[in-house]
């Protein structure tokens, strides 16, 4: 049987196979079920609408998935020589099942494309299975982001977190503050031209992701990492003069201060516009690496951003540092800095916050693969390289000492783009580690093992080559 990534909860092989040539696709009457029938035909190639013969039937059924599963993404795939079914309680579950079916397709001894006879019952460990993509340090056009989304969908990831602002650039146009992109949409690290997404492009990106059951979570990173904002609007700077454009890699030097009368209106405008433009549930308010604000002023920022976002009907996510403030219950705190004291996280959880796991020493995918990797990010002696096995061999429940697994909403890999100027470099850093992070987030802990994963992920490289994607041939894997 072809290897599956991420590994499903339960797989049982049976005898025989089902040829795809002439396979009919049958689905329910709703518009989304019919769209998924088209998705199935696209994913499976030879499958089509021919009359007679075996069929692939897509069915909504609450009984699908493992017996103890409650996730709306749970599904069952059954393939036999007489036909195949994908059942799930939701169309999202049907889509997850179809991605499994697509991975199962193989070529038999007669050169036919077939599905092996199998029964798969599956459900995710976490609902939040994400990737954070930095488009601020280096900008990536919508078509590149769409290709990232395609790979995310293949590996059953559910959240694309877009880091839209930083010191080097502002990447989303806003009706209330047009200078942010007119001025700070230009440029990036080094001498690149930069760019930004129009509101229409941002909406289309979200729709493209939603069709693949990926939710987009936009981030404006404040009150630090704000030179792009102060470069566009001098009212955010003491003295009223805009700051110079910044194209370096340093962090921690910029800030917004409530001592200035223009700061609060600016924050209300930008977070209000972003929340209004967001189709999903969440908005990310940033909050990391603010080295020049006092605790009281920092907390004021967190609570104001929280107020604006929740007033627009969205839920709040922020980086680990926001746990220093008194957070309202339900806030999602994104853990990343493994070298810091985690007591604020424990206090936040005691107050009703949830934790999203992005430990830098495991899932920061811009990090060096090894000591000889000259293009990867390097934090010095305090942060070793992150190889494929590092991204795979860790247990989320044990990631934050003193935080119970019930408080964890999921796992999110992150890729920062200081040293990623183009698409080839982007995918070289994403792959294969993104597949490892996806399996950590999806597969039951007791079903995972490095040796088994290495044998399965090795076969993914053929598909990456076919799709024109670069990847790193990590050691310990016999790459196909």
Active site residues: 289
- Reduced to 3 states (helix: H, G, I; strand: E, B; else coil), residue 32 is helix
DSSP notation for 375-431? TSB--GGGS----HHHHHS--GGGSSTT--GGGEEEEEEEE--TT--SHHHHHHHHT
Distance CA 327, CA 299 (A): 9
Distance CA 310, CA 169 (A): 26
DSSP notation for 201-269? HHHHHHHHHHHTT-EEEEEEEESSS-HHHHHH-GGGSTTSPPPPP--S---S-----TTSTTHHHHHHH
Nearest to 362 by CA among 340, 404, 332, 394: 394
Distance CA 290, CA 332 (A): 19
Query: Under a CB-based contact definition with an 8 Å cutoff, are residues 173 and 196 in contact?
Result: yes
Query: Under a CB-based contact definition with an 8 Å cutoff, are residues 133 and 163 in contact?
Result: yes
Please list, in sequence order, all residues whose beta carbon lies within 8 angstroms of the beta carbon of residue 178, skipping any fewer than 6 positions away: none
Beta bridge partners of 128: 410
**Token pair 């990623």: residue:** 420
Buried/exposed 69-100: b ≥16 CB within 10 Å, e otherwise: bebbbbbbbbbbeebbbbbbbbbbbbbbbbbb
Q: What is the DSSP letter of 467?
A: T
Rounded alpha-carbon distances, angstroms, from residue 397 to 206, 347, 357, 404: 31, 17, 10, 7
Distance CA 357, CA 409 (A): 8
Q: What is the DSSP letter of 109?
A: T
Tokens of 64: 């699908």
For the chain, what is the total number of helices (H) and then of strands (E)? 15, 17
**Token pair 């995310």: residue:** 152
Tokens of 52: 């007679």
Tokens of 173: 């146009």
For residue 374, the tally of other CB atoms under 10 A from its CB is 8
């Amino acid at each position: 049987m072809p290897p599956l990534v991420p590994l499903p909860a339960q797989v049982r092989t049976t005898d025989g196979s089902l040829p795809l040539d002439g396979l009919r696709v049958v689905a329910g009457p709703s518009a989304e079920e019919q769209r998924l029938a088209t998705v199935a035909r696209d994913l499976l190639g030879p499958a089509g609408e021919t009359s007679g013969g075996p069929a692939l039937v897509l069915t909504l059924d609450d009984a699908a998935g493992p017996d103890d599963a409650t996730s709306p993404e749970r599904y069952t795939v059954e393939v036999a020589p007489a036909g195949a079914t994908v059942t799930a309680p939701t169309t999202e579950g049907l889509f997850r099942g179809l991605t499994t079916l697509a991975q199962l397709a193989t070529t038999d001894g007669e050169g036919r494309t077939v599905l092996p006879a199998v029964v798969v019952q599956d459900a995710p460990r976490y609902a939040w299975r994400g990737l954070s993509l930095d488009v601020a340090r280096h900008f990536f056009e919508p078509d590149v982001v769409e290709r990232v989304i395609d790979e995310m969908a293949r590996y059953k990831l559910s959240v694309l977190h877009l880091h839209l602002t930083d010191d080097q650039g502002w990447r989303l146009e806003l009706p209330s503050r047009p200078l942010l992109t007119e001025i700070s949409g230009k440029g990036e690290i080094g001498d690149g031209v930069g760019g930004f997404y129009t509101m229409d492009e941002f909406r289309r990106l979200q729709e493209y992701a939603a069709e693949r059951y990926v939710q987009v979570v936009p981030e404006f990173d404040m009150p630090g990492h704000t030179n792009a904002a102060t470069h566009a609007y001098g009212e955010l700077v003491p003295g009223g003069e805009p700051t110079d454009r910044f194209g370096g890699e340093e962090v921690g030097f910029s800030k917004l201060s409530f001592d200035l009368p223009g700061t609060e209106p600016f924050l209300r405008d930008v977070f209000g516009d972003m929340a209004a433009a967001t189709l999903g549930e969440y908005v990310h308010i940033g909050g990391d690496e603010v080295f020049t604000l006092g605790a009281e002023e920092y907390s004021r920022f967190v609570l104001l951003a929280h107020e604006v976002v929740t007033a627009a009907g969205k839920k709040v996510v922020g980086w680990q540092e926001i746990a220093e403030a008194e957070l309202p219950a339900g806030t999602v705190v994104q853990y990343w800095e493994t070298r810091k004291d985690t007591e604020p996280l424990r206090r936040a959880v005691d107050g009703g916050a949830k934790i999203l796991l992005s430990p830098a020493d495991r899932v920061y995918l811009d990090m060096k693969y090894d000591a000889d990797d000259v293009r990867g990010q390097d934090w010095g002696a305090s942060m070793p390289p992150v190889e494929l096995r590092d991204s795979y061999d860790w247990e989320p429940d044990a990631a934050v000492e003193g935080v119970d697994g019930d408080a964890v909403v999921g796992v999110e890999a992150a890729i920062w783009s200081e040293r990623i100027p183009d698409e080839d470099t982007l995918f070289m850093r994403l792959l294969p580690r993104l597949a490892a992070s996806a399996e950590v987030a999806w597969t039951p802990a007791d079903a995972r093992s490095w040796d088994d994963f290495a044998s399965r992920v090795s076969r993914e490289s053929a598909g990456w080559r076919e799709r024109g994607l670069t990847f790193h041939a990590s050691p310990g894997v016999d790459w196909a």
